[in-house]
Structure 1
Amino acid sequence: MLEPAQNVLEKLVQSSNFSLKSDPSLVGAVASAAADDDKDRAEKQTEKGAKDTENALRRKPELRPVHRGSQQSIDATFWHLLHVLAQGLALSRRGAARGLAEHWGALKYNQALTGDARSFMELSAEGKETAKEHYKAIQSRELGTGFALVSARRILEQRYPDRIVSIVPADTALFAGWKKLGRYKPQYFAEVWKPRERSLVIPIACKGHHSNASTSHSQLASASAHVEQVHIGPWNETPVLIFSTELPPDGPVTVNTLCAKGSGGWLSNPRGESGKFDVQPDQENFFPDIHLPTEADESPATVPGFHVTPDRYEWFARVLARTAAAGVTAFAGDGGATAQYLTDRQGRKHFTGFTHAAAGSVRDACHTLFGIKFSGTDHIFRLNGTRVEAFSGVANDLLQLLVEGRVERYRHGVYERRSTWPSGSWSNSWNGPVSIHADGTVLAMRVLP
């Protein structure tokens, strides 16, 4: 018998926990997995008659645990997790016609997890059933993304409590400067920022699976090759975060994570007294190479990858701020506002052209939640046979700033209000779960009358 939709919504606001594992033994296991993978690649190349080095991967060196304790738990509601995942998917198609509505796909997981404050999250009966079908790889990848981004936010917010953490799709940002990205690249950038100060940018690679810990070791070894493709500042000084989420059919969710530290990742604050992020950066055509350190008498040497050198700091700072703004307006369903923040290669034209039926969103919904007026888009679907309404939007005054192209003022407004947003996860007047993030976005759902 199907569970009543209202009961499902009430469970979405229950707080539960998941484990964040990061210790020296994980570092060693990932190093071993990387060595085994390199050996397999070399053997395959030898069989083909090619040189071993032709298929060798560069991996991020000096990986380490993210915290001193071997394991810690993170508490979160299921609804918060779905909100984070939905925002991570809002630009996942880089502006393709279905990109505006891509984040609604997060709602297919509203019954995939179970747990409460006294236990750890794990796959529910529905989640386990789904994991048995062909949908298994998609489920582990997308839920893995959600858990990784929740973890990344929590880690960085603890490290930099006076800053805002924005998550930006890496491919969307990189397309502003490079024509072709290739297979290996991080999935996201975390921009850790504060008005009038330079930002810290951290590449993030995240994966997920339904297997055991050894699979996480292999996934983290692979993730280390993805983040190594981006260098911001000096060679091998860019801090990174890599994640592999275990979603076993029997047992709790565990997020395995490692990091690399360094003096890089810091961008210059764009020059100008005001409106520095309001100016669209040029679409560049950089050559995809990373400059290696050399002695004065040596010829310049490079390896393939994406290098944000000091002369590109201000440009990349604008790209990240405006791509993050595009993600916010896309989440609210405003294609016109989104298009102004993207270059052609990033997908600007897809937000202004024809949108296929059932694949687009329109910003035509307004709701007041916890006394705050939000504007955005809605989606009506059936949950266990009952019609429900989902709403995603942005605080009206902040969204209006982005519609007008005022990214600088939007960022100041977000920072000024970062500690004033309601902390509740259920609105009685709305009669459903509500999640509000520091960037002014909201995700809410309720049973239709």
Structure 2
Amino acid sequence: MNLSFKELVDTLGTPSKLIVSSTPQLAADVEQHARERVGPKRKSSYMYRKRLEAVDTKLLTGMESSPAEVLRELGLATTFVTASPFADIARHWAHVRYCATLRQTPKQTLALSKTGADIVHHHKVAQSEQIGIGLALVVAKRILERKYPGWIFSSVDVDTTLAAGFLDGVGPVRQKNKTTMRPDYFLIGRHASGTTANCKVFVLECKGTHGSAYHSRQQMATASLQVGSVEVASRTLPSLIVASRLSVSGVEIDVLDPPGDEDLWSGEPEQFDELVVENPESPQWTSGQPTFEQFTKRKSDLLGIPQDEMLASQDERTKFEEIQKDLPVVFNIPGSGKPWLFRTLARNAAHTTLRFAGDNKAAAKFATPRVGTQRSLPLDEPIAEWYDSMIGSEIRIGSRDFVGVKYSMPILNGKSFEIFRGVEKELYERLRQGKVSAYLSHAHRLREEWQGRPEVYGRLRANNDAVSVGNDGTVIKLRIKD
């Protein structure tokens, strides 16, 4: 397949329809796969999964996205917190590696390109996982921002949050040991009006495959266990499971919506900023297998059997004692820890956004002490030249200025392929100063202004630029420079 760089950039910036589905039948099919996994081979870990429900179809209609948006979400979600001189190059690589992976079909739907499909198996596994993350974040944020108008949702890595939050027992996720699995991301939703500030949190598990619908449903069955491994006040958080099937004929995306407790924090904007600026405390919480009470509560939700009956049954207790060691590790944050979770997630979101723009120094102010001590290279002294900041470029899109990092790659005939990633300038200044409530208020105004000006995208495409601007003010811009 011959593809010029000009055609590539045009493809990256072209919005395409997303084929997204969520039905009661899908939930039933995935539930059947999960039940089939309960047995001698899988032990009984799947008895601790979450009950699955379909998403309201009104939240799924008319979704569109561009490859540039998928790359922006992927790059933002995989922004490393590691203090490394190569971290910014790695973020850049997250954008470049999959530039030629997605395209628009003649029916104007998003699909895997022939170039993206022409790879060997072990690269397909990495590709489906990474593109699955980008697509899942696009779809999940669309759903939640439609369900909660005026809210902005940011992705925060679950393992990073648990490690940063001083939870004992957070270790590497062993892919072959299904009892230690955790979900991929927290989606922290924040809303700031002139008088109040609110926060919600959802759990997101992202799946991707080049395989069949059958394989995708198996993945979603596994996800029903993963999204239930984090609890607040012994209640599961609301969650989304998003599974993408990559194909040259079209990307198909399935979504399920396990229920949960959604309230996290609310208060005055001043309190909002104070909580975010302060370092989280160091609670001594531990993880472990569920108790009999926790297990019967989850089983009651799954099977519709009154929990009191199971608690009173000696047979149930005996069965539980036989399988407890095979149940998943659960991280249970007490009800009093809700402000801690909000603070940790909000700080991580600010940390990620500033690092995405290349400002490592400002981002470091939002890192918890544990991140600062555990996620650095074994060097005698910090090297300020690379740790300080990579930020140094500024571009104008429409009537707004954006600051961030620019990379340029030489191509044929003296031209270069240029990628800029960053944050809208006023949003960046507010976030850098720790004024998160003001950042959110300005982000709402920017979103309304940007969405109301489709002619900006038209001019950019006429200039052969591919641009994606998120509701959080983050941006990626790709172009060919003479």
TM-score (normalised: structure 1): 0.85
Instruction: State the Cα deviation string for residues 9-28 of structure 1 (Å, max 9, x = none).
Output: 11222121221121122112
Instruction: State the Cα deviation string for residues 40-84 of structure 1 (Å, max 9, x = none).
Output: 524xxxxxxxxx45xx24543320111247985621122222212
Change over 3 Å in CA distance of 1:208–1:158 after alignment to 2 = same
Partner of 1:85: 74
Partner of 1:11: 11
* Separation (CA, whole Å) in 1 of partners of 2:46 and 2:29: 18
* Separation (CA, whole Å) in 2 of partners of 1:101 and 1:161: 35
AA matched with 1:223? A
AA matched with 1:343? T
Of 420, 425, 429, the residue aligned with 1:391 is 420
Q: What are the equivalent positions in structure 2 for 1:43-442 lying under 5 Å apart?
A: 52-53=43-44, 56-68=45-57, 74-91=63-80, 98-104=86-92, 105-116=94-105, 118-130=107-119, 132-177=120-165, 178-182=167-171, 183=173, 184-195=181-192, 196-236=196-236, 238-248=237-247, 250-262=248-260, 264-269=261-266, 273-274=270-271, 275-276=273-274, 277-289=276-288, 292=294, 304-347=329-372, 350=376, 353-354=382-383, 362-382=390-410, 387-421=416-450, 423=454, 424-425=456-457, 427=460, 431-442=464-475
- Deviation, 1:373, is 1.5
Change over 3 Å in CA distance of 1:102–1:232 after alignment to 2 = farther
- Deviation, 1:334, is 1.0
Alpha carbons 1:97, 1:350 under 8 Å: kept: no
Alpha carbons 2:10, 2:464 under 8 Å: kept: no
* Separation (CA, whole Å) in 2 of partners of 1:137 and 1:360: 35
- Is the aligned partner of 1:20 residue 2:20? yes
Higher share in helix: 2
- Unaligned regions of 5+ residues in structure 1, if any? 43-51
Change over 3 Å in CA distance of 1:347–1:26 after alignment to 2 = farther
Alpha carbons 2:401, 2:425 under 8 Å: kept: yes
Change over 3 Å in CA distance of 1:389–1:400 after alignment to 2 = same
Instruction: Out of 147-156 and 280-289, give the one that drifted further.
Output: 280-289
Instruction: State the Cα deviation string for residues 352-402 of structure 1 (Å, max 9, x = none).
Output: 945999x99711111122121211111122567852110111112221222
Instruction: State the Cα deviation string for residues 316-375 of structure 1 (Å, max 9, x = none).
Output: 111111110011101101111111111143357539945999x99711111122121211
Q: Which has the higher contact order (CA 8 A, sep 6+)?
A: 2
Coordinate RMSD, CA, aligned: 3.3
Change over 3 Å in CA distance of 1:163–1:244 after alignment to 2 = same
Partner of 1:49: none
Instruction: State the Cα deviation string for residues 173-200 of structure 1 (Å, max 9, x = none).
Output: 2212224434211111111221223311
Change over 3 Å in CA distance of 1:253–1:190 after alignment to 2 = same
Structure 1 counterpart SS, 2:38: helix
Structure 1 counterpart SS, 2:220: helix
Alpha carbons 2:418, 2:481 under 8 Å: kept: yes
Alpha carbons 2:280, 2:344 under 8 Å: kept: yes
Instruction: Out of 71-80 and 372-381, give the one that drifted further.
Output: 71-80
Alpha carbons 1:167, 1:324 under 8 Å: kept: yes
- Deviation, 1:223, is 0.9
Alpha carbons 1:246, 1:253 under 8 Å: kept: yes
* Separation (CA, whole Å) in 2 of partners of 1:317 and 1:218: 32
Change over 3 Å in CA distance of 1:70–1:402 after alignment to 2 = closer
Partner of 1:45: none
Instruction: State the Cα deviation string for residues 65-120 of structure 1 (Å, max 9, x = none).
Output: 112479856211222222122211113x6556544443321322221112158332
* Separation (CA, whole Å) in 2 of partners of 1:218 and 1:29: 9
Alpha carbons 2:229, 2:330 under 8 Å: kept: yes
Percent same amino acid among aligned pairs? 25
* Separation (CA, whole Å) in 2 of partners of 1:360 and 1:128: 39
AA matched with 1:350? S
- Deviation, 1:5, is 1.2
- Deviation, 1:225, is 1.3
Structure 2 counterpart SS, 1:175: helix
- Deviation, 1:286, is 1.8
AA matched with 1:10? D
Structure 2 counterpart SS, 1:280: coil
- Deviation, 1:265, is 2.7
- Unaligned regions of 5+ residues in structure 2, if any? 174-180, 298-306, 313-320
Instruction: State the Cα deviation string for residues 141-178 of structure 1 (Å, max 9, x = none).
Output: 00111111111011111111121122222222221222
Change over 3 Å in CA distance of 1:175–1:273 after alignment to 2 = same
* Separation (CA, whole Å) in 2 of partners of 1:418 and 1:98: 32
* Separation (CA, whole Å) in 1 of partners of 2:411 and 2:112: 18
Partner of 1:47: none
| Number of residue pairs aligned between Structure 1 and Structure 2 | 430
